[in-house]
Amino acid sequence: MLKTFTKVAGALALTTAMVMPATAAELSGTLRIISDMSNPAPRAIMEGLAADFDAMHPNLTVEVDVVDREAWKSQIRNALTANSPDVVNWYAANRMGPYVKAGLFEDISDMYTGGDLPGLDSVKGAMTLDDKQWGVPYTYYQWGIYYREDIFKELGLTEPTTFDEEIANCAKIVESGRKCYTIGSKFLWTAGGWFDYMNMRTNGFDFHMQLARGEVSWTDDRVRETFANWRKLIDMGAFIDDHQTYSWQEALPFMVKGEAAAYLMGNFVVPHLRDAGLTDDQIDFYQFPLIADVPQGEDAPTDTFHIASGAQNKEAARAFLQFVTSPDVQTKINAGAGLGQLPVNAAASVDDDEFLNQGFDMLSNNAKGGIAQFFDRDFPAEMAAIGMEGLQEFMVFPDNLDDILARLESSRKRIYK
């Protein structure tokens, strides 16, 4: 899997001779990158980045090792402790915690304060732990409700902006013999997305983050209110049956076949829907409707690059981080032909895609509450695992709520010491 790019000049139309104004000092040696961008499209992007960067620096050899994205979640530990590479992929926010605490990620706060990373101010927060920055983001994507436009038209529904409208819509959808939402909760995290939104809309972003930091009890009345709102949907039969047996991909056909009208999901669902034969006239997107009068918080998970603290070639690693976050590179790699997601640099442009445009607009103008990463990235890993299991149980047996909350609360007391 190891690919060495030496002098592949002109392999990809060079995005750039422009990056690196400041650190034009000649880079040399080897830059070793381990990437988890193993799906076909991201992989091509990663290999292209490495080739471009290699071509820009004649004395530098870039080696990139692409490992399976799921496997990387446990391999990163070994990779960083033994013979560590220079640059690795990971995730923002709390997910960085264990590596920051163990001193395995390089502190790059000086790059942010020194002006080496212009245009990243809005995403800096997600990279901050203990008031320091530990890496750079390279892509992110919005979450929201993807729905079947044609079914909405057929039933005469419009995009809801409040929870009451959402419920009224849903009642009509159920009446037409369909389900309102598809979901596959076998691997739990999809239920985490629903909780994020129900809680951020019921109690606001700040409360949600307090809960994530373990500062609020799970048996708090405000948390119960979140579940009570959620239960309104469950009781009216809004969700597909037996969702605990499906993965998120296995839940897609319900929407494709028109048995369910909508899917609360990240933007990565769009290519799947298109591949399944739905046209852009049949799918559309709306922001999760308002419940209480609180500023909207949004989930927008961010993927990142970090420098290992044991890196051999930190100079080249820093230059690479600057390179991937520069406006032109950001525009190019996040375009529809590449990752099909949102660029992290404010000076980059968003590809002209119905969903990317809506997502970008929503996150820039209509996420006043704040940007969350996602349930399993904002909550500490163990709390997330136990929590998501409880959320799945709630969705199947809403009557077990008291028992579930008591269990989560006792875990909270143990986990956050």
Partner 1 sequence: MADMSHTWMRRNRMTITPLLFLLPGMLFFAAYVIIPIFQSFNISLYEWDGLGEATFVGLRNYEELATDRAFEISLWNNVKWLLLYLLAIPAGLFIALFLNQTVTGVRLYKSLFFFPFVISQVVVGLVFSWFYLPNDGLFDIISGWLGIDVRGGVLGNPNTATYGIIAAGLWPQTAYCMILYLTGLNAVDPEQVEAGRLDGAKGWRMLWHVILPQLRPATFIAFVVTIIGALRSFDLISIMTNGGPFGSTRVLSFYMFEKALSEYGFRMGYGSAIAVVLFFIMLFFIAYFLWSMYRDERAARR
Which chain residues interact with partner 1 by CB under 8 A?
A: 70, 73-74, 77, 81, 98-99, 101-102, 104, 186-188, 241-242, 244-245, 376, 381-382, 384-385, 389-390, 392-393, 396, 407, 414
- Smallest gap from Cβ 410 to partner 1, in A, equals 8
3-state secondary structure of 339: coil
Beta bridge partners of 214: none
* Pair of tokens at residue 409: 């609360």
- Smallest gap from Cβ 139 to partner 1, in A, equals 20
Of 49 and 386, which CB lies nearer to partner 1 in the complex structure?
Answer: 386
Sequence-ordered alpha helix ranges (H) in 204-245: 205-212, 221-235
- Smallest gap from Cβ 188 to partner 1, in A, equals 7
Of 284 and 393, which CB lies nearer to partner 1 in the complex structure?
Answer: 393
- Smallest gap from Cβ 198 to partner 1, in A, equals 18
Of 80 and 348, which CB lies nearer to partner 1 in the complex structure?
Answer: 80
Q: How are beta strands 143-148 and 283-286 bridged, if at all? A: antiparallel
Of 8 and 385, which CB lies nearer to partner 1 in the complex structure?
Answer: 385
* Pair of tokens at residue 368: 């006043």
At 28, the amino acid letter reads: S
- Smallest gap from Cβ 327 to partner 1, in A, equals 33
Q: Which residue in 261, 247, 250, 275 sits closest to 189, CA to CA? A: 247
Q: Any idea of the CA torsion for 318, 324, 329, 331, to the nearest 10 degrees?
A: -140
Q: Which residue in 356, 413, 354 sits closest to 382, CA to CA? A: 413
| Radius of gyration for the chain, computed over Cα atoms and rounded to the nearest angstrom | 22
Q: Is the dihedral of CA 121, 126, 128, 133 positive or negative?
A: negative
Q: Which residue in 386, 389, 304, 323 sits closest to 72, CA to CA? A: 304
Of 290 and 401, which CB lies nearer to partner 1 in the complex structure?
Answer: 401
- Smallest gap from Cβ 63 to partner 1, in A, equals 25
Can you tell me the distance from the alpha carbon of 213 to that of 78, in angstroms, rounded to the nearest whole number? Answer: 27
Of 225 and 389, which CB lies nearer to partner 1 in the complex structure?
Answer: 389
Q: How many CB atoms lie within 10 A of CB 234?
A: 16
Of 73 and 232, which CB lies nearer to partner 1 in the complex structure?
Answer: 73
- Smallest gap from Cβ 103 to partner 1, in A, equals 8
